């Protein structure tokens, strides 16, 4: 951010120095010997940097909690906090409540079978339950980073339960808290630099979007 200030003030200041760099001559002196090499130049308009230092916080425009589309048992979770995922990537799988009940019941029958024929029938029922199971694949709605994970494998969930949270880093922006006295010094479109304390990173380049 810059302000246009005439450098005429600087020239006037130098002129004052020139006056102080000469000495009074005695009545009999023929010439004045300068004490310093002084040069003058025409005054011109120029720009100076006017920096406003302030604090603020990061936030994102695109932040979504991905929910389970069905009630049932979480079979697999494929992501951890901090992972970057692509749009459409499978984040978790959820076995439907009905399929979970059918498989659990068939496994119980296998364990309780006392004869070869009973065991064979129970294993067939278990195989059928597994082959017809309904498994929901929970996918990423957009490319981004996983910031929260709310479930673990084997957990029972309802339809609409939060599974993970994902943000789009490209939608991240910085809210700066500018003191009232400096508001007039900040204009949309001006360049901004954001430094993160405690992190050995160069300043982030940005642009003032709105005030």
Q: What is the pLDDT of residue 195?
A: 87
Mean pLDDT by 10 residues, the chain (211 residues): 36 36 49 65 73 86 96 97 97 97 94 90 93 96 97 97 95 88 87 85 87 84
Q: Token digits for 189?
A: 């479109």
Cα–Cα distances (Å) from 182 to 52, 99, 104, 138, 169, in that order, read 7, 63, 67, 48, 29
Beta-carbon neighbour count of residue 92 at 10 Å? 22
Residue linked to tokens 């936030």: 59
* pLDDT at 16 (0 to 100): 38
């Amino acid at each position: 951010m810059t302000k246009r200030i005439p450098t005429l003030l600087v020239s006037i200041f130098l002129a004052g120095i020139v006056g102080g760099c000469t000495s009074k001559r005695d009545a009999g002196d023929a010439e004045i010997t300068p004490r310093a090499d002084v040069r003058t130049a025409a005054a011109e308009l120029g720009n100076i940097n006017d920096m406003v230092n302030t604090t603020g916080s990061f936030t994102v425009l695109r932040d979504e909690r991905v929910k389970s589309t069905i009630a049932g048992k979480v079979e697999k979770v494929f992501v951890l906090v901090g992972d970057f995922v692509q749009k459409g990537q499978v984040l978790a799988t959820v076995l439907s409540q009905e399929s979970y009940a059918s498989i659990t019941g068939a496994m119980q029958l296998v364990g309780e079978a006392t004869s070869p024929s009973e065991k064979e029938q129970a294993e067939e029922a278990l195989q059928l339950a597994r082959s017809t199971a309904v498994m929901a694949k929970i996918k990423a709605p957009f490319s981004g980073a996983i910031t929260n994970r709310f479930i673990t494998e084997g957990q029972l969930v309802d339809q609409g339960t939060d599974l993970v949270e994902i943000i789009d880093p490209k939608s991240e922006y910085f809210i700066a808290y500018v003191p009232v006295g400096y508001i007039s010094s900040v204009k949309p479109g001006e360049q901004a630099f954001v430094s993160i304390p405690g992190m050995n990173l160069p300043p982030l380049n940005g642009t003032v979007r709105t005030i």
